Amino acid sequence: MSVAIPEPVLWFDRIRESDGPHRDDASGKYFVTRYESVRRGFLDERLGAPGLNLAKVPKELHQSVIDMEERYFSRWPVFSDSPQRSVARRALMKHLRVVDKGTIASWVDSDEPTWNAHRPFTSQWLLHLLKRSLISLLDVEQTQFDMLLKWSDEITGYLSAHPLDRGTVDRATDALASLEEFVIKNLQTAEQGLGLHLRSLLEQQQVDQSTLVGLYGQILTGTLEPTLSAIAVALEQLTGRRERSDEFEFDGARFTHEALRLASPFHYAPRRALEEVEIDGGLIPAGSDVVLCIVAANRDPGMFPDPGRFELRENSSKHLSFGLGGHSCPGARLAHQLCEEVTRACLDLARNAGSRPVTFDWDVSRSMRKITR
């Protein structure tokens, strides 16, 4: 049975109830939606990085998509199983500076330029906060931020586009080419931190340039869109009910996990079956495309009863929003901390917002949930 996918959460919910792994006839992909199966799927080495799947790409775009994917995305850590990916991943984890509480609170206090007393929590304001984190992580100039943001928008625009059109592909290709140029220059001049470390790995030939460009691409897209999304969900919850501020003060870490569980920024992680795999009693043939549906696992009522409800649960931290295993998100700690500390710094503001719950405008696609800016 093939089903059109109007709204990912509902569709994933439906197939989780009906099948273990669900084969979609139109795309030939297997969708895994139950919590335990998705969890095991992340840890199963027989499910490797995904290859290119052109099933849903309009014919006239095939060649440009193949060119772009081969030249750029094939070396992004998340889309590759190469040993270089592990080297790049370790380097990032070593240099991820977790930002301390006081620093984030001072950003919130001093953020005059984008602050609006009548509508305090805007997407632009959140973006402005994250800008500081990205600038310090990548060691870039303030003035380069708008350019990085534009590339990130164009790349995530391509990754979440459905259906795909030529403009989206062309913009993403240009953005990736500009990012490549930028990374090469940035590495040449890096004098400290992550950049310097990566340059020395490059010189020792432990990692190649394309893998590093991919790593920067993922840092860029990871620090912005999904982190903004997680913070926005936490702020909506915080201001949605009066008692939420007390719940946050009681356990801010769990509050943040619950926000990530309730509305995971990325809806799924793609994989390719390297050999035949049995999941939930269903056989997935070697070579198949497999979709590990994070958003459905996080809302599996067998694991999280009444899953659409926000509540501090014993197991809120068991969400799969950062994946698990060999490809799990190396930025998870930083993203979680940014989300928790921005929310903490907004507690007083939220209390003052009183009866005015904050809501963001959401752009929910098959692959992710983002706030519109």
Nearer Cβ to ligand HEM, position 227 or 316? 227
Q: Enter the tokens of residue 353.
A: 């917002």
**Cβ contact 189:90 at 8 Å:** no
Nearer Cβ to ligand HEM, position 124 or 136? 136
DSSP string spanning 72-83? TGGGSGGG---H
Among 222, 233, 300, 340, binds ligand HEM (CB under 6 A): 222
Q: Which stretch binds ligand HEM (CB under 6 A): 20-28, 232-240, 315-323, 347-355?
A: 315-323
Please tell me the distance from the alpha carbon of residue 362 to that of residue 254, in angstroms, as a whole number: 23
Among 40, 131, 254, 327, binds ligand HEM (CB under 6 A): 327
Nearer Cβ to ligand HEM, position 61 or 156? 156
Does 329 interact with ligand HEM (rule: CB under 6 A)?
A: yes
Among 16, 29, 85, 257, binds ligand HEM (CB under 6 A): 85
Does 230 interact with ligand HEM (rule: CB under 6 A)?
A: yes
**Cβ contact 179:151 at 8 Å:** yes
* Nearest residue to ligand HEM on Cβ basis: 331
Tell me the number of residues near ligand HEM by CB under 6 A: 26
Does 152 interact with ligand HEM (rule: CB under 6 A)?
A: no
- SS3 (DSSP) at 346: coil
- Look at residues 25, 68, 22, 45 and name the one whose alpha carbon lies nearest to residue 164: 68
Q: What are phi and psi of 266, to 5 degrees?
A: -95, 135
- SS3 (DSSP) at 25: coil
Please tell me the distance from the alpha carbon of residue 232 to that of residue 227, in angstroms, as a whole number: 9
Q: Which stretch binds ligand HEM (CB under 6 A): 119-127, 142-150, 303-311, 322-330?
A: 322-330
Q: What is the sign, positive or negative, of the torsion defined by CA atoms of 177, 162, 310, 269?
A: negative
Does 335 interact with ligand HEM (rule: CB under 6 A)?
A: yes
Among 186, 227, 237, 239, binds ligand HEM (CB under 6 A): 227
- For the beta carbon of residue 110, count every other beta carbon within 10 angstroms: 9
Does 198 interact with ligand HEM (rule: CB under 6 A)?
A: no
Nearer Cβ to ligand HEM, position 210 or 218? 218
The residue written with tokens 């014993």 in the block is: 314
Does 89 interact with ligand HEM (rule: CB under 6 A)?
A: yes
Q: Which stretch binds ligand HEM (CB under 6 A): 31-39, 119-127, 144-152, 219-227?
A: 219-227
Does 78 interact with ligand HEM (rule: CB under 6 A)?
A: yes
Does 331 interact with ligand HEM (rule: CB under 6 A)?
A: yes
Residues 6+ apart with CB under 8 A from 346: 108, 121, 235, 238
- Look at residues 172, 148, 150, 173 and name the one whose alpha carbon lies nearest to residue 160: 172
Does 255 interact with ligand HEM (rule: CB under 6 A)?
A: no
Does 218 interact with ligand HEM (rule: CB under 6 A)?
A: yes
Which helix H or strand E contains 36, and what residues bound it? Answer: helix 35-43
Q: Which residues form the interface with ligand HEM (CB under 6 A)?
A: 77-78, 85, 89, 92, 215, 218-219, 222-223, 226-227, 230, 265-266, 269, 321-323, 327-331, 334-335
